[in-house]
Amino acid sequence: MSTRDFIEKDYYAALGVPKDADATAIKKAYRKLAQELHPDKNPGNADAEARFKDVSEAYDVLSDTKRRGEYDEARRLFGGGGRAGGFPGGFPGGAGGQPFDVGDLFGAAGGAAGRGAGGLGDILGGLFGGASGGPRARSQAASGPARGQDVETEATLSFDEAALGVTVPLRMQSPGTCPTCNGSGAKPGTSPHTCPVCQGAGVTSRSQGAFAFSEPCRNCRGTGSVVDDPCPTCAGNGVTTQTRTITVRIPAGVKDGQRIRLPGKGAPGRRGGPAGDLFVVVHVSEHPLFGRKGDDLTLTVPITFAEAALGTTVTVPTLDGSVSLKVPAGTASGRTLRVRGRGVAGKGRSGDLLVTLEVAVPVKLTAAQRKVIESLAEEMDEDPRPQITAAVQAGGER
Ligand SMILES: [Zn+2]
Ligand SMILES: [Zn+2]
């Protein structure tokens, strides 16, 4: 805990107790909040977790007489928040775990800015439940337009979809205005009332020596309004996690494990800023017939000895239909024929279809087949492997 923490954090507000609260009142407030906000009770709720930390930190200091004295002194000297100490950056609101943004506060003409108007973008850091390790920026200070967060998600595509390109719906979770209270944070039927301390300005002024300081109103945490009955859906935050489905076009030719960037499909920007980018990590399923080598498709096609010897035409499937291939007479097993442009769409040009011909040897023969093949063998009595034979003879028998 640093002096800076002391100056920036309002531990009394975090616990919801007045500055002159006695040890018993502080303990009581802490117990109640710690119970409500305990991570076991709020699994996966990042806001509750952040508040739980704030509350614990506040209690650590305020329950210790010596440290509480130091804290009070630091606040008295440095003005308790705002920019009095010349500290850069935003300053996290104590209670509520809702980061609030100094730039917004001072810019909000007439105050009474809706709850969440300033903090929303910051909370977006916790974004999109599914994305693991998503970027977080809880208290980024900005008064101008701010770009939305980049977001990462995953998609599983079939082999064909990956090769040909596909439009897929992606379900994503992101914070949005609470539908129950329309973002006011107040229980339906009630409404937030103007903060009596700052008269809705969200800012209070204080003079210290020759200077006048403006600082965010502690009573309303700079929002200009106070909620008596919090909205049950969003617990007064004005923001809930919402599921949205966006449709994205995955370009043709993506590979398994590839991370593709979809500009402007990430989290929305703040104050007119551009949206962030969406990164989709694609998983591509195997195909029962085709393989892939970069942009080329591979396919193994069995042919008979007779087809290989005499030549034939075989029709093979492609991703978008079929193609007929001329197998020349005297084709060796394992020979690969290239069909141009029938592979996977690549950058600039499409890949090729590589057809590997494999002579299939019958496992079982009928008596008639055996007879024919025996007479064929007799007819073709030349050595098919003269070099091997020569090598064996040169080495002698051993
Ligand atoms: Zn609500
Ligand atoms: Zn106020």
Counting ligands in written order, the one closest to the CA of 182 is: 1
**Highest mean predicted confidence (pLDDT) among 181-185, 249-253, 286-290:** 286-290
Q: Do the beta carbons of residue 309 and residue 329 sit within 8 Å?
A: yes
359 labeled part of a ligand binding site: no
Counting ligands in written order, the one closest to the CA of 112 is: 2
186 Cα–ligand 1 center, Å = 6
Q: 3: closest CA among 79, 63, 64?
A: 79
pLDDT at 78 over 90: no
240 Cα–ligand 1 center, Å = 7
Class of the CATH-defined domain 1-79: mainly alpha
149 labeled part of a ligand binding site: no
pLDDT by residue (tens digit) across 306-356? Answer: 999 999 999 999 988 999 999 999 999 999 999 999 988 776 778 999 999
238 Cα–ligand 2 center, Å = 17
pLDDT by residue (tens digit) across 130-180? Answer: 333 333 333 333 346 778 788 888 889 999 899 888 998 888 777 677 888
Q: Do the beta carbons of residue 24 and residue 30 sit within 8 Å?
A: no
DSSP code per residue over 214-270: EEE-TTTTTSSEE-SSB-TTTTTSSEEEEEEEEEEEEPTT--TT-EEEETT-SSPPB
Counting ligands in written order, the one closest to the CA of 226 is: 2
Going from N- to C-terminal start, the domains of the chain cover 1-79, 291-392
CA angle (252 as vertex; 248, 258 as ends), nearest 5? 80
Beta bridge pairs of residue 168: 248
Q: How far apart are CA 103 and CA 114, in angstroms?
A: 15
Counting ligands in written order, the one closest to the CA of 193 is: 2
Question: Average pLDDT for residues 263-279, to the nearest whole number?
Answer: 79
Q: How far apart are CA 219 and CA 316, in angstroms?
A: 75
pTM (2 d.p.) = 0.45
For ligand 2, an ion, list residues with CB under 5 A: 195, 197-198, 217, 219-220
As given in the structure block, the two tokens for residue 164 are 């040909």
Class of the CATH-defined domain 291-392: mainly beta
Q: How far apart are CA 223 and CA 228, in angstroms?
A: 14
Position 75 scores a pLDDT of: 74
224 Cα–ligand 1 center, Å = 17
Q: Which long-range contacts (CB under 8 A, 24 or more apart) does 62-71 make?
A: 62/11, 62/12, 62/15, 62/26, 63/23, 63/26, 63/27, 63/30, 65/23, 70/6, 71/6, 71/11
pLDDT band per the 50, 70, 90 thresholds, residue 68 = confident
Scanning the structure block, which residue is given the tokens 């279809």? 353
Counting ligands in written order, the one closest to the CA of 181 is: 1
191 labeled part of a ligand binding site: no
Q: How far apart are CA 317 and CA 323, in angstroms?
A: 6
253 labeled part of a ligand binding site: no
181 labeled part of a ligand binding site: yes
Q: Across the chain, what does the average pLDDT equal?
A: 77
The amino acid sitting at 266 is G
- 21 versus 87: the higher-pLDDT residue is 21
120 Cα–ligand 1 center, Å = 13
202 labeled part of a ligand binding site: no
202 Cα–ligand 2 center, Å = 5
Q: How far apart are CA 127 and CA 277, in angstroms?
A: 13
306 labeled part of a ligand binding site: no
Q: Do the beta carbons of residue 313 and residue 368 sit within 8 Å?
A: no
205 Cα–ligand 2 center, Å = 11
Q: Do the beta carbons of residue 233 and residue 181 sit within 8 Å?
A: yes
159 labeled part of a ligand binding site: no
pLDDT at 102 over 50: no
382's CB contacts (< 8 A; 6+ apart) are: none
342 Cα–ligand 1 center, Å = 55
Q: How far apart are CA 116 and CA 177, in angstroms?
A: 8
Q: What does DSSP assign to residue 2?
A: -
End-to-end CA distance of the chain: 85
pLDDT band per the 50, 70, 90 thresholds, residue 270 = low
Q: 104: closest CA among 114, 213, 198, 94?
A: 114
